[in-house]
């Protein structure tokens, strides 16, 4: 009943496969949306369907894995003392596709909250610094910053590839007065 056309590279291929799947998912989800066939992810990763399901029992866990990588990058940037809120916001904006994709399919999933918490915790010290040092006013809360990020993410996601940078800038320009008040 089973087949074997591709050589079984053995268990050692596991981590490699996992990484390939996440990378493939990032590409496929980016191009075709989070509803893209999982089989296309497996195919692009050069991995059997079964392996995909072993690593990620459902679609959401794959989406989260993609986002988790984004988040780790954000946290790394946030932990470097010289990174500014602005830079962080830009980084987040650029990783926005994942965010939006995630939101689209994971609405209501508990894990989404975890991710939001991580983002919040990564931003909090930077935001306080910025407010303390007068870079921005004290008028806007962290909640508002989070909302602003979601708003920028939304418009960036729907912009065409080439326009994204311009659109993001315009969106931040529109929000800055509100955040800096």
Residues that bind DNA (CB under 7 A): 1-14, 17-18, 35, 37-39, 46-55, 57-59
Buried b (16+ CB within 10 A) or exposed e, 110-145: eebeebeebbeebbeebbeebbeeeebeeebeeeeb
Give yes or no for a contact between 114 and 108, defined as CB atoms under 8 angstroms apart.
Answer: no
9 binds, among DNA, a copy of itself, none (CB under 5 to 8 A by kind): DNA
Give yes or no for a contact between 29 and 66, defined as CB atoms under 8 angstroms apart.
Answer: yes
Measured torsion, CA atoms of residues 14, 94, 99, 178, in degrees rounded to the nearest 10 = 160
Residue ranges in 28-47 that form contacts with a copy of itself under rule CB under 8 A: 35
For residue 65, the minimal CB distance to DNA (Å) is 14
Name which of 75 and 116 has its Cβ closer to a copy of itself. Answer: 116
Name which of 9 and 166 has its Cβ closer to DNA. Answer: 9
* Two structure tokens written together for 3: 């087949």
51 binds, among DNA, a copy of itself, none (CB under 5 to 8 A by kind): DNA
Q: Is 158 in the site for a copy of itself (CB under 8 A)?
A: yes
Binds a copy of itself by CB under 8 A, chosen from 19, 103, 135, 142: 103
For residue 56, the minimal CB distance to DNA (Å) is 9
Question: Which parts of the chain are beta strand (E)?
Answer: none
Q: What is the DSSP letter of 163?
A: G
Q: Is 173 in the site for a copy of itself (CB under 8 A)?
A: yes
For residue 81, the minimal CB distance to a copy of itself (Å) is 28
């Amino acid at each position: 009943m089973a087949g074997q056309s591709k050589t079984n590279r053995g268990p050692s291929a596991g981590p490699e496969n996992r990484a390939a799947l996440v990378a493939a998912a990032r590409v496929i989800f980016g191009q075709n949306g989070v509803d893209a066939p999982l089989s296309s992810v497996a195919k692009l990763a050069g991995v059997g369907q079964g392996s995909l399901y072993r690593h990620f029992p459902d679609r959401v866990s794959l989406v989260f894995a993609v986002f988790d990588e984004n988040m780790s990058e954000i946290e790394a940037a946030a932990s470097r003392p010289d990174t500014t809120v602005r830079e962080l916001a830009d980084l987040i904006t650029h990783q926005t596709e994942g965010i939006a994709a995630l939101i689209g399919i994971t609405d209501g999933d508990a894990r989404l909250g975890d991710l939001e918490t991580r983002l919040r915790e990564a931003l909090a010290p930077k935001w306080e610094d910025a407010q303390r040092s007068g870079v921005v006013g004290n008028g806007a809360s962290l909640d508002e910053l989070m909302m602003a990020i979601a708003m920028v993410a939304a418009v960036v996601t729907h912009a065409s590839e080439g326009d994204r940078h311009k659109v993001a800038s315009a969106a931040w320009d529109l929000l800055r007065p509100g955040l800096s008040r």
